[in-house]
Structures are given as structure tokens and as C-alpha cells.
Chain A
Amino acid sequence: MSENILEFHNVCFRYDADENEAKLPFCVDDVSLTIQKGEFVAVLGANGSGKSTLAKLSNSILIPESGKVLVNGMDTADESRSYDIRCTVGAVFQNPDNQIVASIVEEDVAFGPENLGVPPEEIRTRVDDALRAVGMYDYRFHEPHKLSGGQKQRVAIAGMIAMRPECLVLDEPTAMLDPQGRAEVMATIRKLNREMGMTVVFITHFMEEAATADRVVVMDHAKILLDGTPQDVFQKADTLKRVGLDVPMAAQLASELRSQGVPIPKTVLTAEEFADSIHNLLEKKTHAHS
């Protein structure tokens, strides 16, 4: 039994063109990628680079035109396995309005586990846990359509968490959230990863969020351009900027200071790491002068 939860083997995919029109270009072009159980992987890429298509290929919402996607060894092209595949890989997308089905928050969160045939008592626990995890428990009796965008997104995430999939694929779940909402969602996802061992594939446009992942995959024009630790990937500032991305603010400041002769380590990516390394350098400097 392999420890890979997700395997992409030379996967190609393009959307259908209208009749009599030229074929559309590939959105995912000969992509091979392996995600191991328990990994926390951030996926970066400019708008239109193929990230969302990759997400949809991961739980058989889309089927490759050629190549194979395996979920725990199950081929996503095998329709008889699509139920098991979707129980294994849960997906949350950008726009919560397309994902909310019920007229009361807690019923919406219960929809997934109900469909899985989870016993009622357990559904109760799962729904309450999930709503607390995203900070929406106080809104459990509210109508989703009257919530703000960010609140709706947290309900959508709760609905997915309540299904307790082995792997979560999240497509820009923080795009509409305020700073605290983003921090809460990130903390929630990280907790699910660390404490429950859930595999997380996390698509984001926020470099600061990607900096905290175990691994960063960068897509460009339907292909994988970079794949490595955040420290490796964010050293390639020029490559990232060329494809419409960026490096975290702290890393950018560090690189500008390095060019002025301040020896900040290249591994510095977050505000905390940056401040701490400046603090250390200043202490050394004080010692050297005393």
C-alpha cells in the first residue's frame, strides 16, 4: 500500500470548445505530481495558470483527457470508485455562494455527513465541532444567504470538515476573508493537518500563507514550474515575479538589505523570522563592539 494519497501521472486536461471551433489550449499540460499522506502543500500560480483545474482533477470532478489521477490508488476515471474518491478528497472552492445548499447554517454543514450516512448523534457532534473550528457556532441557526462573504466561506469549510475526508483540497478559501478570518482558517487547516493528520492541498494567492506550508508547488501556463520547500521556492524571486507571483514581504525586505551588506539568512520568510534575525544580528554587533 503506497503512502501517496494523490498521484498525477502525465495528466492533460482542456475544456471542450464549442462545436466547429478550434480546440482550446490545455489547462493542465502533462503534469506529474505526488502528494504524500500528511503533507501540507501550498499551490501557487497566476490567475489562469491551471491551479483550479488541478484541484478539480483531484477528486474526479474533472477527468483527465490523458494520463491518470490516482486517489489512494483509485483511478479517478473509474466511475464505480467516484463515491470513495470523494469521501477521501474533500474540496472547497473560491466562491461559497456556489457551495451552500441549505437555508440554515447548521443544516448546511450537516448536508455532507447526512449524505455519507453518518448516524444522527455523530452528525450533531461533527457539525458542532466543525462550526466551532471555523468560529461560526454562534451563527448555527442563521440563514446562510444573510451572512457576509467571509462568514459564508467559513460555513462552506465547516461543511467539508464535517465530512472528515483524509485529504482537503482548498481553492483560495481565504480570498474573501478579513485578516482574523484568514488567520482562523489557516490555524484551523493547520490543526486538522497536524493533529488529525489530514493531508492538505492549499491553493492561495497569498505568499505569506504559502511560506508556512511544508512544500510549495508553483504552476505556470498549465505546467509545474517549481516544487520544493518554501525556503527553496521563495529564493527564486525573479522567476516568481516573471510569472505574476511575488515573495513574502519579509523575504523581499531581507533580500534588499542583503544587497546593502546586512547578512540576513536566505531562509527568512515570515515577519517573525525576519524580526528575530535582525535582533540576533544587532546583538552580535553590540558584542563585537564592546
Chain B
Amino acid sequence: MPILETQNLTYVYGEGTPFRIEALKNVNISIEKGELVGVIGHTGSGKSTLMQHLNGLLKPTSGKVLLGGEDIHASKEATRAARFRVGLCFQYPEYQLFESTVYKDIAFGPRNMGLNETEIRERVQRAAEFLEIRSDWMDKSPFDLSGGEKRRVAIAGVMAMQPEILILDEPTAGLDPRGRDRITDMICKYGLSTGSTVLVVSHSMDDVASFASRILVMDHGQNVLGGTVDEVFRQVDKLVSMGLDVPQLTKIFLRLQASGVSVRTDIYTLAQAKRELLRLFFEKGGTA
């Protein structure tokens, strides 16, 4: 059974006003435990609206969200439970830091769950390890940290709740390349070592290609494509028509193919690219 599912999920903003927008239309997605899912789509495609449904923050206009097979809006208790079982980290989460120390900020979620101090401490510690938050930051004000450091503290706050499903909405937006790579690595490590299900919304095709075990594509409020990295990025024309793209490296190979070079185009990582190009140059005993 999938851990998380939506059935004909539809959501309308501004019902009854001239600005009525159907943000989600009959979305059916199904996610298995332990998957590392990349969610892509143009701005306004409904990615964030969809994510906000998955922990009950928004209530469907029609359709259902099922967590472990149960409707998260079946009862008040079910909705409350969903908030803890599905951790949602918004875009630019560093703007939501508010406590006087880093420790208190990370501990806020677990404390709200009614855990005791020992458990809270343990969870804060664990989350801090995943995000490489140094122990000497714990008593500092989160506002004295740099942008990338604040981002990590904010993500730790959600991780510390140890949700079964962790959802991150554009966790690397606005970060420099090193910060981007670090956070992506930390999220992968977290997913793999805890067995949690992780959903990451991203505008970076390169990032998604590097970590996702599966990709969901949203377009105009609908889930139009889904599959492995290869299954999705193979559909170049479709992606471009939806305002998306293929990874940088894939573009190189598509252009080579278009210029008449016989070359594979299912290339998404540096290692794959290097192997394919060296094959071109050095096979048949030739030299460059």
C-alpha cells in the first residue's frame, strides 16, 4: 500500500469571485515508503498548493488525501496526526525562524508534539547532525547566522519532528552553489539513512536528476507526467512546452545528436557524460 496518496484532488482558490483559479484539478498521485521524489513544474503549476494538502494545511475542495490508506480529513484527530506525520518545510523557511536560540527553534516542533525534554534533546541532536549544525551554534540567536546556515536550522526544525514523510519546497532556492550541493547531499543522506519518504520541490533540473528516485511533473494544476529520471527527462518536447527543461548535460547530448553525431541522449550526470564522450573519441582504437 502506498504511504501517501491523493484521489481526484481538486482545489479552488477564490471560489465565487472573479479571480477563481482551479489550482489543482483531479490530481492522483501515489507515493511508496522510502521514495525520494522530485516534484517539478512551472511557477503556478500547483506544486506548492499540492504540497500544502499533503499535511492537511489546505483542505481539498473535492477529492481526498490518504495517509497510510486513511483520509487525513476523516476526523480532527486524523488531521492533527497528519501535521506530525508529514513534515512540511516551506520556501525560504529561514524567514520563519523566531526563537531566541538555535536549540529552541529546532526544539519547537518536537515540544509541540508533547515530547519530554530527553526525547526533545535527542531529536534536536539527531536533526542537527544531519544538517551539520555545530554544537556551538545551539545557544546563539538564529539571526546571527548566515543565510545558508539559517536555512539549515529551519530544515532541522522540521526534521526534528521525525516525520514519516518530509516535504521540502525549493530547499536550495537562493543559495550559492556550495550551499546548494551541501543541502541536497544532506537531504539525500537523511532519506537514505532513516528510510523516510522525502518529496523535494525544485526548479533545478540538474538537482532533481542527481537525487530523485522518481519525478512527478505538475502542469496547470494537473499531474501530467511521472516516472524515473530517464522516463521523465526523455520527454524533452513535452517538458519544454510546459516551461520546464532537461538537465544542462542532457542538452549537450541532444544538440550533438541534432548535429548528426550518433550519441546517447539519456545522460544526466557528469560521470555518464564523460563516459559517453570518451567512448566517442577513443573507441575503435582512435585518438583524439
Contacts and interface: CB of A to CB of B under 8 A. Distances in A.
A and B physically associate:
yes
Interface stretch (B57-65, B73-81, B129-137, B248-256): B248-256
Contacts of B273: 253
Contact of B147 (A48, A276, A282): A48
B243 interface: yes
Contacts of B280: 278, 282
Contacts of B178: 46, 241, 244-246
Interface string B239-282: 01001110011011101100111000000001001100110110
A117 interface: no
B203 A275 contact: no
Contact of A179 (B245, B255, B261, B278): B245
Contacts of A285: 281, 286, 288
A148 B44 CA distance: 5
Interface in B5-36: 13-14, 19, 21
A176 interface: yes
Interface in B176-208: 176-180, 203, 205-206
Nearest to A139: B44
A21 to B, nearest CB: 11
A95 B44 contact: no
A61 interface: no
B209 to A, nearest CB: 11
B205 A271 contact: no
Given A244-B179, A278-B261, A181 B42 contact: yes
Given A47-B175, A205-B177, A289-B286, A176 B91 contact: yes
Given A181-B43, A205-B176, A47 B252 contact: no
B113 interface: no
Interface residues of A, number: 53
A180 B42 contact: yes
Nearest to B151: A47
A47 B42 contact: no
A207 interface: yes
Given A151-B44, A175-B173, A257-B274, A249 B206 contact: yes
Nearest to A52: B147
A222 B253 CA distance: 39
Contacts of A278: 252, 256, 261, 277, 280
Contacts of A177: 43, 203
Interface in A112-164: 142-143, 146-151
Contacts of B248: 208, 248-250, 271
Interface string B35-58: 000000111110010000000000
Contact of A146 (B14, B41, B43, B148): B14
30 contacts: A45-B176, A46-B178, A47-B147, A47-B179, A95-B92, A143-B19, A149-B91, A150-B42, A172-B174, A178-B45, A178-B243, A179-B244, A179-B245, A180-B42, A181-B42, A244-B177, A245-B178, A271-B248, A271-B255, A272-B255, A275-B252, A278-B280, A279-B256, A279-B259, A279-B260, A279-B261, A281-B281, A282-B261, A285-B281, A285-B286
Interface of B: 13-14, 19, 21, 41-45, 48, 91-92, 146-148, 170, 173-180, 203, 205-206, 240, 243-245, 248-249, 251-253, 255-256, 259-261, 270, 273-274, 277-278, 280-281, 286-288
